[in-house]
Amino acid sequence: MNTIPPTACPAWKKLEAHAENWRGARLVEIFANDPARATAFATAMPGVRLDYSRQRVGALTLTLLAQLAAERGFEAWRAALFAGEKINATEGRAAGHAALRAGDAAPAEVRDTLRRMKELSEKIISGKKFDRIINLGTGGSDLGPRLVADALACVKGAGAPDVRFVAGVDPRELERALAGARSDSTLFVVVSKTFDTQETISNAKIAKEFLKGKANLYAVTANQEAARQFGASEILPMWDWVGGRYSVWSAAGFSAMCAIGSAAFTEFLAGAREVDAHFLSEPPERNIPALMALLGIWNVNFLGAATQAVLPYAHGLRLLPAYLQQLEMESNGKRVDREGRETGYATAPVLWGAEGTASQHSFHQLLHQGTQIVPVDFVVAGIDPLLDANAEAQSRALAFGTAGQALPPYRQYPGNRPSSTLCLEGLNARNLGRLIAAYEHKVFTQGVLWNINSFDQWGVELGKQLAQDILKQKA
């Protein structure tokens, strides 16, 4: 597999020279000179449209970025991902998340598990034994199912249980989730791939005490023996070939399935599967995840952006930035490449963001008039003209500012600030699956171009170890 650092690729040098031409270029003039730009710099797949016309790119930029991808061996890496090769080299594992949503083509163990999840969740919903489900998990064992349950709260049928999520080690968080709960009608779903994560296990112990011997505790884990010993009454598997932050499609999504119903969960998987097919087959200029990745690389490595904002204009997507923080920064927040060399070039930017429109009355001041250039992903869902209009207004103000208006300096908006808009045709399970899978493949593509392993997370280990040591010293 290709191990040439991106900076040694001919396209990298060309992009550096090309970026010089873009330093003085102004979006306001570019649009004035090219009336077709808004449609030319956009692409779509069913349910999702990406408008990147307000990025600071031209046709040549995209050609060179695609060339960089080719020189980095992108197609071979993508094939290796889908073939289940052990591309997570430091852990000797595959990154098999796409197999989780492959439908009839999924491995038998995946299909069996989905069947079991469906049976259990339908029994829970129709049996009405549980009026509350509390998901105990953290990181990938929390953020994905939490996002899905929250985003699709509207598809919840009458009588569906109240599904809550507890992620932190402060017991007061679980206490709050338990307010008013009864032990006979509360189900805990302990989600932990390793079944030894401090936060999750300490919460699970409190849950056990709360249950006073009742068998209302399910486990979702790759460490089935530990879950059995803990006393889980039902165990659903996770596998070592799926990373935590890529596991929402698996039994890690069980609590979400209980919240939205198995039919919606099936739709969610189907949406992701469509993106897998799109990502595998479309050329870079029409490939939404690949384009998102290339634009990100351009902004970070050639235009010098240090952060990336994600602004969902839909209340249901308010948790998207938190989800993407783990997905992007735990995957690509790396400073050595696959050969163990210091990269010497920037990798993942700091990802941050919040739900619009509330964010407009908070940090957008910096986006519009601050000294840092922050590329923005607007995510709109076509569910409310007021929301969509606000997202469009923000994107326009960033791109064009107050060009041509005579204003005092403090009222001027410099403009020329890049953004993309991802438009979903409605906020439903299928589009949510499409959205998350698109970001997953964006992250994978960037990892390939940066020559880093996106599927390990050694940077979280030292803190865990030190916390244990500190605790022991205090005991």
CA dist., res. 420 & res. 434, Å (int): 17
Site map 226..265 versus ligand F6P, x via CB under 6 A = ------------------xx--------------------
Burial (CB count <10 Å: 0-12, 13-18, 19+), residue 369 = middle
- The reply to whether 368 belongs to the active site is no
Give the position of tokens 């049976």.
119
Candidate list 54, 193, 434, 442; residue touching ligand F6P; CB under 6 A: 193
* Residues 230 and 203: beta-carbon distance below 8 Å: no
Pairing of strands 419-424, 48-51: antiparallel
Check 86, 123, 128, 464 and give the catalytic one: 464
* Residues 417 and 403: beta-carbon distance below 8 Å: no
Minimum gap (Å) between residue 250 Cβ and ligand F6P: 11
The radius of gyration of the chain from alpha carbons, rounded to an integer in Å, stands at 23
Nearest CB to ligand F6P, comparing residues 113 and 197:
197
Is 139 a binder of ligand F6P (CB under 6 A)? Answer: yes
Check 199, 274, 330, 355 and give the catalytic one: 330
Minimum gap (Å) between residue 435 Cβ and ligand F6P: 20
Instruction: Give me the DSSP letters along 288-332.
Output: HHHHHHHHHHIIIIIS---EEEEEEESGGGTTHHHHHIIIIIIHH
Is 453 a binder of ligand F6P (CB under 6 A)? Answer: no
Candidate list 200, 250, 347, 431; residue touching ligand F6P; CB under 6 A: 200
* Residues 185 and 124: beta-carbon distance below 8 Å: no
Is 93 a binder of ligand F6P (CB under 6 A)? Answer: no
Minimum gap (Å) between residue 286 Cβ and ligand F6P: 32
Is 307 a binder of ligand F6P (CB under 6 A)? Answer: no
Q: Which stretch binds ligand F6P (CB under 6 A): 104-112, 119-127, 189-197, 317-325?
A: 189-197
Chain residues 348-407 in contact with ligand F6P, contact rule CB under 6 A: none
Is 2 a binder of ligand F6P (CB under 6 A)? Answer: no
Nearest CB to ligand F6P, comparing residues 239 and 298:
239
Minimum gap (Å) between residue 252 Cβ and ligand F6P: 8
Q: Which stretch binds ligand F6P (CB under 6 A): 193-201, 207-215, 271-279, 411-419?
A: 193-201
β-sheet bridge partners, residue 132: 162, 186
- The reply to whether 361 belongs to the active site is yes
Nearest CB to ligand F6P, comparing residues 215 and 460:
460
Check 20, 209, 212, 361 and give the catalytic one: 361
What is the helix (H) or strand (E) element at residue 474, kind and residue range? helix 461-474
How much of the chain is in helix, strand and coil states, percent to nearest 5? 55, 10, 30
Is 145 a binder of ligand F6P (CB under 6 A)? Answer: no
Minimum gap (Å) between residue 260 Cβ and ligand F6P: 21
Minimum gap (Å) between residue 139 Cβ and ligand F6P: 3
Minimum gap (Å) between residue 141 Cβ and ligand F6P: 4
Structure tokens at 277: 């097919």
Structure tokens at 140: 């990938």
Nearest CB to ligand F6P, comparing residues 71 and 240:
240
Is 457 a binder of ligand F6P (CB under 6 A)? Answer: yes
CA dist., res. 81 & res. 62, Å (int): 24
User: Residue 126, Cα to own-chain centre: how many angstroms?
Assistant: 31
Instruction: Give me the DSSP letters along 115-147.
Output: HHHHHHHHHHHHH---SEEEEE--GGGTHHHHH
| Amino acid residing at 36 | A
- The reply to whether 173 belongs to the active site is no
Binding site for ligand F6P (CB under 6 A): 138-141, 192-194, 197, 200, 244-245, 330, 457, 460
Residues that are catalytic = 330, 361, 464
